[in-house]
Amino acid sequence: GTAPYSSAYVFPAEWVNSTFHRCYVPIAMLNTVVSTGLSCYSRFVEAERPRFSKAARTLAFAYPYLFDSIPLFYRFYLCAAESCTEAAIPVHYKHTVFAFLTCFIFASHLPERLAPGHFDYIGHSHQVFHVCGIIGTHFQMEAITMDMAERHHRLQPAALLPSSLQTLGSMGVSMAVSLAVVGLCSVSLRFMPEP
């Protein structure tokens, strides 16, 4: 996720050093592990409860995104209320639109649901889902880069900013624990009866 970058560059100025700001990255790390576990678990119940499985998989991606975006959504609210002029906000809007479009396409299975058999090879929702996700990620990285340049002078003193080791460490721990969850789920598949 982008929580370390959001914590450093996207957070509203009045939230910096708040309790939520200090807990933001650790909670995002926990969300990463929970989302990986939920996504893996959804595969175990897919045959018996396909709707629950799809909902769990959608939640596994939507919840961490929504949590990570709380500071950004607050900035959107402030901009709507006070008509801000931050250059990154329109780009953040684009990335948010593509994120919601990605989720909608993943959950709805459009366009193949409307015309079964016509989108089996090209234009399948899974392909469109990935394209929208990539475009959204492009806009997100562009917006964070703009925030870095625009808000650099307002950052915390260097002593309070997380070090590279802390940033990479939090990402590494999240990845390692998530890989352990995937490994555990993969091993436990051997003990499951065939459907």
Binding site members for Zn(2+)? 126, 130
CA distance 133 to 127: 10
Q: Which residues are annotated as a binding site?
A: 126, 130
Q: Look up residue 130 and give its two tokens.
A: 């990935």
Cβ pair 125, 132 in contact under 8 A = no
How many other C-beta atoms lie within 10 A of the C-beta of residue 193?
4
* CA-CA-CA-CA dihedral for 54, 59, 65, 68, to nearest 10: -160
Task: Name the DSSP class of 1.
Answer: -
How many other C-beta atoms lie within 10 A of the C-beta of residue 70?
15
CA distance 78 to 66: 18
